[in-house]
Amino acid sequence: MVDHRISLTRYLVEQQRVHGHIPSELRLLLEVVARACKRISFAVNKGDLGDAMGSAGSENVQGEMQKKLDIIANETLIEANEWGGHLAAMASEEMEGIYIVPNRYPQGEYLLLFDPLDGSSNIDVNVSIGTIFSVLRKPEGHPGVQDADFLQPGNRQVAAGYCVYGPQTTLVLTVGDGVAMFTLDREQGSFILTRENVRIAEDTQEFAINMSNMRHWDAPVRRYIDECLAGAEGPRGKNFNMRWIASMVADVHRILSRGGLFMYPWDKREPHKPGKLRLMYEANPMGWLIEQAGGAATNGRQRILDIQPGQLHERVSVILGSKNEVERVTSYHSAT
């Protein structure tokens, strides 16, 4: 039986050849990242049958305890990408500094940033987790690569995506021509196009936020959530549902699949930090995907993709999803 399904490879070749959207080097990069995600998926799916569960007993630059799978996923992405000649360097949530491609390999023109395993608190309880990645072009005009080369706003990304390890393993990707989703066919070991031109409804009745932090929120966020909780009898005139998976990848995947609003806002627990989530390898790639699907992403006051980064691991307040809801929350911030 002839397989008429479109594989990731064919989708990328067509993006390169037919639409002229991506050069062959970027196509190669995305294929390598997808293969690395497939390997991470197999490690994740072993669970207690493998030896990748539990804590690694070390702390990362974020001051968070690392899980074994955080490190395995990080090493998998480094090893898969360093020899191909498409990258100049990589940056990861799990590494303090940038990782420059070793001299024994050719250097390329792209920079790859990633959260190798997002939602790590869910690893040991069998809840969906994922890998998030973002691709920038290395700035020209100087040999080699420096830390500052990574400090580009999210509107300079050339590709962004994630792979969610859930009931299905699904790769979600944009190269600036809309959002496409590829489901892993485990029998053939290939990612198959299952959705493209994904669109998010501009309105929603579903919000995602960690409610246990309510007493720490700023007034605009508090006002928005109070109005949602007041339901049909309140100012919104409709009832809302709530979801919080504590894996950004899984919450964003739900929003790309059926709409919704996701918020991890600044709160006064650590007032010196602008938020919990990281700009370069969580908010920027997710923000671009959401915008490419017709949604919006701000930090309450500014489009996330326009934020000029000051340092590699900087954090940001995140409000993203259905456009009209993001605009409402953002308007509450500008009213203060």
Residue 267 binds Mn ion, judged by CB under 5 A = no
Nearer to ligand AHG, 111 or 283 (CB): 283
User: What is the nearest approach in angstroms of Mn ion to the Cβ of residue 156?
Assistant: 21
Nearer to ligand AHG, 164 or 179 (CB): 164
**Nearest residue to 97 via CA among 45, 48, 152, 149:** 149
User: What is the nearest approach in angstroms of Mn ion to the Cβ of residue 93?
Assistant: 5
- In whole angstroms, give the CA distance from residue 207 to residue 238: 13
Residue 115 binds Mn ion, judged by CB under 5 A = yes
User: What is the nearest approach in angstroms of Mn ion to the Cβ of residue 258?
Assistant: 22
Q: Which does 130 bind (CB under 5 to 8 A by kind): Mn ion, ligand AHG, none?
A: none
Q: x/- binding map, residues 39-78, to Mn ion, per CB under 5 A?
A: ----------------------------------------
User: What is the nearest approach in angstroms of ligand AHG to the Cβ of residue 121?
Assistant: 5
Interface residue with Mn ion, options 118, 267, 291, 325 (CB under 5 A): 118
Q: Which does 121 bind (CB under 5 to 8 A by kind): ligand AHG, Mn ion, none?
A: ligand AHG
Stretch that binds Mn ion, among 6-14, 110-118, 139-147, 165-173 (CB under 5 A): 110-118
- In whole angstroms, give the CA distance from residue 184 to residue 165: 10
Nearer to ligand AHG, 264 or 266 (CB): 264
Residues that bind ligand AHG (CB under 6 A): 64, 93, 115, 118-121, 210, 246-248, 264, 276
Q: Which does 246 bind (CB under 5 to 8 A by kind): Mn ion, ligand AHG, none?
A: ligand AHG
User: What is the nearest approach in angstroms of Mn ion to the Cβ of residue 51?
Assistant: 20
For Mn ion, the binding residues (CB under 5 A) are 93, 115, 117-118
